Structure 1
């Protein structure tokens, strides 16, 4: 009587009674109550009985089932459990499929995951724009697992010397995306976009390929005559620019200001942390003219300096265009903060620490930051009053 190959293709087709029907050497046909049939390999492993599904009949024929059972038994002879081997193969297949994610797909996923934590829409747009313009055309369609140093350099080198600031930011964004992909299991190994100990050996430092371009500032001695001209203009952009100068604020801080941030009785403008570059609340003592400018605005608008629509702020370019119309191309709105600092150093005895607080500068020195816990607010009232007095002085000094 045969101990193997007990079944035939005809007998397998005809079987309808539920149960297990052996073919020999651990191969069985399992017939379910509903009539479906499947192949099973039964074996002992470390004293434990195991069953391994091989596939359904008739998709898997009797001949094919015998071949699969043979391969399973051969694995056992090599000391390998066929079920464990199959599970490992499936896991590897899933991992390889995950690594098939393209760099562009990972970049978009990274932006989607982090955009809510970025402070403003301009920052979000810059993230997308630099990737779309410079990285995606080169490595966007490639598997994120395939991105290596040569490919990163292929993205960066064409703009490293001509656009060092953009290139440096792009490098950091590529590095962040690749770190994210590794944490997700989409790639392995070191990050080819890291700077320290890697790309710093292949590319010149940003500071060596370009001179830092500071925001061009009006000389503080010319400020009184400029302010006299500015004050004569009636446009809301002129009022916003004057307010920005008098408060030493950044453009975005002024444009994003909403009425409830102002306590005109206490003469305070409180800018919430979410709108500040350093993510810390900033209090600004308001001088007389700053309070007057806020009082001139229509408070039924969402923003203190509204644009054309009720729910929109003044354009991000409005003050710069106003400035260009008055003095031509060259000066920047941000440059007035430099003029404020120069005036403070050259004309007054106010300490640098107070000037830095007025400008909401981040303190990089940890020791200094530990001691600077207050915001010198009462003393800064006098500082801003003196700044207004100088801005509106009759004669340039």
Structure 2
């Protein structure tokens, strides 16, 4: 078979397949469009791979592409897969991973910040580059400016970049080692600041409770319920009457509303039951409905900013809503002297390693009830200055 020439390619007009040898062909379509085709065998089957339009891919480049793809096929690989890998940019891979993870996330804000952090700190450096061209040095240059200035953000970005490469490898879009693994010793060790959600000292809670009780707002009642149950903000604000068993004095929070994705039973102390009685009848569904209804005039839970406004109206600052969980935890350790596993179970925290958790099937509910009853008495001032020892 005679080899094609540049002048010969320009001169050809008749539709058909014109061979150059070693499986490379110039295809001329019915409209006169010219393109390159490689015929080769991949995994025992004959395949045709398009190499691009002839006006954009010169003869020499088409021959080199054909040579590379034939070599990949001889070594047992798939040239088409290799080509897709080379065309997949980091930004596109990150978007694909984000789309797959999106249905698994319950927190909308987390879903938004996940992709936003990639777009802010990774994409400007290598977002438009194919994955196989990105090295550990590229990722290092992206992380260095924020590694000490924004350590928590930087660590999250590193983890997310690593997840993109792991996903691409698992999806067959990337065949090399994860370049993030090469940064283990390249970045300095940054000690954690130790900052936590600011919390009200447990000794100040009874006085705060008295001030809170003077407020008539539904937000105040929701905060009381949150404190008495040691719940997270979203769990309390989203509480539904269908989850409450007043007779059994239990709040059954379903798995889909819990951070760990595991259903949680909350024992209700007498003060918590009293709070529920005061809000009974406000809505048939939500326990603490927002004063603002949906466009279809349906009740909805209060926003996550409602407590911040409440604190401002009360003239209180220096602590957060989430910090009341720490207030409870400190009281449980320092005042009630409760066993660690009971206090952690009250917060719906996992304790022990995976093996220990596999054998610890009990949620320590009755022991938690004793602890939460004591907490209710303390928070509302009923316990006075008496220190209750909760070891049940």
TM class, shorter-length = 0.7 to 0.9
Q: 1:97: Cα distance to partner? A: 4.0
Match of 1:355 in 2: 343
- Change beyond 3 A, Cα 1:52–1:220: closer
- Change beyond 3 A, Cα 1:212–1:187: same
Conserved? CA contact 1:240–1:319, under 8 Å = no
Secondary structure class of the residue paired with 1:193: helix
Q: Deviations over 1:43-90 (max 9, x none)?
A: 9xxxxxxx99874688699xxxxxxxxxxxxx9xxxxxx9x9499499
- Aligned 1:205-284 pairs, distance under 5 A: 205-206=189-190, 208=191, 210-284=192-266
Conserved? CA contact 2:240–2:286, under 8 Å = yes
Structure 2 residue 371 is the aligned partner of structure 1 residue 383: yes
For structure 1, list consecutive stretches of 5 or more residues without a partner in the other structure: 5-35, 44-50, 62-74, 76-81
Q: 1:172: Cα distance to partner? A: 0.7
Q: Deviations over 1:351-386 (max 9, x none)?
A: 221111111111143454244321121222221111
TM-score by length of 1: 0.74
Conserved? CA contact 2:241–2:286, under 8 Å = yes
Name the CA distance, whole Å, in 1 between partners of 2:328 and 2:121: 37
Match of 2:113 in 1: 126
Name the CA distance, whole Å, in 1 between partners of 2:33 and 2:253: 71
Name the CA distance, whole Å, in 1 between partners of 2:230 and 2:326: 9
- Change beyond 3 A, Cα 1:55–1:217: closer
Match of 2:96 in 1: 109
- Change beyond 3 A, Cα 1:333–1:396: farther
- Change beyond 3 A, Cα 1:136–1:295: farther
For structure 2, list consecutive stretches of 5 or more residues without a partner in the other structure: 3-13, 35-62, 387-392
Match of 1:340 in 2: 328
- Aligned 1:13-28 pairs, distance under 5 A: none
Q: 1:203: Cα distance to partner? A: 1.1
What is the Cα-based RMSD across aligned positions, in Å? 3.3
Name the CA distance, whole Å, in 2 between partners of 1:85 and 1:103: 27
Aligned length: 333
Match of 1:204 in 2: 188
- Change beyond 3 A, Cα 1:329–1:104: farther
Q: Which moved more, 1:118-127 or 1:323-332?
A: 323-332
- Change beyond 3 A, Cα 1:369–1:87: closer
Secondary structure class of the residue paired with 2:366: helix
Conserved? CA contact 2:283–2:289, under 8 Å = no
- Aligned 1:177-192 pairs, distance under 5 A: 177-192=164-179
- Change beyond 3 A, Cα 1:311–1:113: farther
Conserved? CA contact 1:246–1:388, under 8 Å = yes
Q: 1:145: Cα distance to partner? A: 2.4
- Change beyond 3 A, Cα 1:324–1:372: farther
Q: 1:279: Cα distance to partner? A: 1.8
Match of 2:151 in 1: 164
Conserved? CA contact 1:306–1:313, under 8 Å = yes
Greater Rg by CA: 1
Name the CA distance, whole Å, in 2 between partners of 1:147 and 1:127: 20
Name the CA distance, whole Å, in 1 between partners of 2:118 and 2:235: 27
Secondary structure class of the residue paired with 1:384: helix
Name the CA distance, whole Å, in 2 between partners of 1:131 and 1:225: 45
Secondary structure class of the residue paired with 1:361: coil
Name the CA distance, whole Å, in 2 between partners of 1:87 and 1:55: 23
TM-score by length of 2: 0.75
Conserved? CA contact 1:306–1:314, under 8 Å = yes
Structure 2 residue 309 is the aligned partner of structure 1 residue 313: no
Q: Deviations over 1:186-208 (max 9, x none)?
A: 333111123xxx322011234x2
